[in-house]
Amino acid sequence: MKISLFGAPSFLINGRSLSDTPSSKVEALFAYLVCNPYPHLRDALASLLFTAHSRNQANNNLRVLLSRLRRVCDDSVLITRQTVRLNPAYQVWLDTAVFQQTITHQPESALKLYQGDFMETLQVQDAKGFVEWAALEREQHRLLALETLLQLVHKHEEMGDLNRAIDFAEQLLRIEPCHEGWHRWLIALHLRAGQPAEAQAQLDACREIISQTFNRNLSASTLALLKK
């Protein structure tokens, strides 16, 4: 079983894709079960995924959802009258789990897995509990990626490996494009590396992003970089 939750979610189960059952809530439910591989009460899952419904209606909706999930997942999900869980007999490759396991000792390899925020393209309606859980997961993974990238930029800058520092600074800004200070850092790295054209292009990109996002001009300290 191969599951990728960074960026656009991808689920490969027994050689079949979960997209064979096109339902955002089926994907949401399976993602939740994979990330939390222990038994869950059906009532709790119903509340997680069907916030605005009565208890009976939410449980009925969950029953339909589980029927759809079972058609694709076979026995990879164990369903009883009271509980639902991922089958512990299955081997699961989960990008977010590998990311967390390797980020400390193999940060550069781990960051290659970060292809976007946690489940950033999945949209589910009437599922407040799931949305709140996903938002928390998203923020935790994002902060870990940003913290690691900051360390790598500093490390390679101090080593004098400016091209690698630039690569990681660019990745930093792909995750958080509105941080003027990090744009300023990247511009300075380009200048130190003898790349004035790239520095100017980065300044122009920064100006556009800051203008569109905050409706203001760049700070004097950013503009001063190319006036030296």
- At 62-118, the pLDDT tens digits run 999 999 998 888 889 999 999 999 999 999 999 999 999 999 999 999 999 999 999
Q: Given this model, what pLDDT does residue 66 score?
A: 95
Q: What is the mean pLDDT of residues 39-47?
A: 96
Give me the pLDDT at residue 23, please: 82
Torsion angles phi and psi, residue 118, rounded to 5: -55, 115
Predicted local distance difference test score (pLDDT) of residue 16: 82
Closest by alpha carbon to 210, among 185, 177, 168?
177
Q: What is the mean pLDDT of residues 59-64?
A: 95
Which range has the worst mean pLDDT, 12-21, 42-51, 183-192? 12-21
pLDDT band at 18 (very low <50, low <70, confident <90, very high): confident
- pLDDT band for 20, please (50, 70, 90 cuts): low
C-beta of residue 202 within 8 angstroms of C-beta of residue 194: no
Q: What is the pLDDT of residue 21?
A: 64
Specify the pLDDT at position 1: 92
Q: Does residue 217 have a pLDDT over 80? A: yes
Q: Considering the chain, what is the average pLDDT of its residues?
A: 94
**Average pLDDT for 4-25:** 85
Q: Is the backbone of residue 12 left (phi > 0), alpha (psi -120 to 50) or beta? A: beta
- Check residue 22 and give its pLDDT: 66
Q: Which CATH class is domain 99-226?
A: mainly alpha
Q: What is 2-95's CATH topology?
A: Arc Repressor Mutant, subunit A (1.10.10)
d(CA 143, CA 175): 10
Q: Which residue has the tokens 């101090």?
A: 158
pTM of the entire structure?
Answer: 0.91
Three-class DSSP category at 163: helix
DSSP secondary structure code for residue 6 in this structure: B
Q: How far apart are CA 57 and CA 46, in angstroms?
A: 9
Report the percent of the chain where pLDDT is more than 90.
Answer: 86
Distances, alpha carbon 127 to alpha carbons 30, 48, 118, in Å: 14, 6, 17
Mean pLDDT of 177-191: 98
For residue 71, the model assigns a pLDDT of 86
For 128-153, the pLDDT digits (tens) are 999 999 999 999 999 999 999 999 99
Q: What is the mean pLDDT of residues 185-213?
A: 97
Q: What is the DSSP string of 124-144?
A: -SS-HHHHHHHHHHHHHHHHH
Q: Give domain limits for the chain.
A: 2-95, 99-226
